[in-house]
Copies of this chain bind each other. A is one copy, B any other.
Amino acid sequence: MTFPGSRVIDMASKKHRKSRKDRIIEVAERLFAKRGFYGVSLRDITNEAGVDVALVKYHFGNKQGLFDALLQRRADILNRERSEALKRVLERNNPASVEEIINAFTHPILNEIVSEDESWRDYFGLLAQVNNNPEWGGKTMSRYFDPLVQKFIDALRDALPGSDEADIYWCYHFLSGALTLTFADTKRIDALSRGVCRSSDFESVHARMVPFIAEGFKKICRKTEEAKP
């Protein structure tokens, strides 16, 4: 070894200087979030990351492979956090309340989006576009999220005994639309409300969203019995 201690230095520098693969995936996430899959070229990404285009092929196969990899990366994290949140809620109280279940689904997003790691905001901006894409959005969202969503549906069914199957699925659909738009941070609400609401005030909107959605679920799925508090 010509440079004694170089291994330590390497490990230290590894923490500070990210791999080119990571740089590509991070820049891609930010750009795809802004303009969608078709609105970003590989050169947009690799130029901003300061690497060569050919590296995309080496690390991800092609543009689609890069897109899939970056969706998968945070979907895994989000699914794990949601799964743990649901588990905690059900351990404490089974069946849990509708509010608790909705909160287990949405609160992990709030945690991530208010964290120091600002790149989570990009991810949710991207998810909003994917969720609302009529061509491949449904399939893509299903692929990454539906296995766990099924467990949330099961919990909601237990929380709303005697409810109609279709009612629960449709209500989840309303939740999904409100949720993805909310965390997409499009700034529309800022202009519409002339500054009364700020699109990036995620705590405020989350505090309203959970009871809003929970109340809708109860209204639609509890037709047969009296609404309980």
A132 touches B139 (CB 8 A): no
Closest CB in chain B relative to A112 CB, distance in Å: 16
By a CB distance below 8 angstroms, the chain B residues around A133 are 36, 129, 186
Q: What does the 1/0 interface line of A20-45 toward B look like (CB < 8 Å)?
A: 00000000000001111111000000
Given contacts A186-B137, A219-B211, contact A181 B173 (CB under 8 A): yes
Given contacts A34-B134, A36-B38, A171-B208, contact A191 B129 (CB under 8 A): no
By a CB distance below 8 angstroms, the chain B residues around A52 are none
B181 touches A131 (CB 8 A): yes
A179 at the interface (CB under 8 A from B): yes
A204 touches B36 (CB 8 A): no
Q: Count contacts on A: residues with CB < 8 A to the other chain.
A: 67
B134 touches A186 (CB 8 A): yes
A182 touches B173 (CB 8 A): yes
A79 at the interface (CB under 8 A from B): no
How far is A180 from B177 in the complex, measured between Cα atoms in Å? 7
A184 at the interface (CB under 8 A from B): yes
Given contacts A171-B208, A215-B216, contact A184 B36 (CB under 8 A): no
Chain A residues proximal to chain B, CB less than 8 Å: 33-39, 125, 128-129, 131-135, 137-139, 141-142, 146, 149-150, 153, 165-167, 169-182, 184-193, 196-197, 199, 204-205, 208-209, 211-213, 215-220
Given contacts A33-B134, A138-B187, A139-B191, 4 further A-B contacts (CB under 8 A): A139-B188, A150-B192, A166-B196, A215-B218
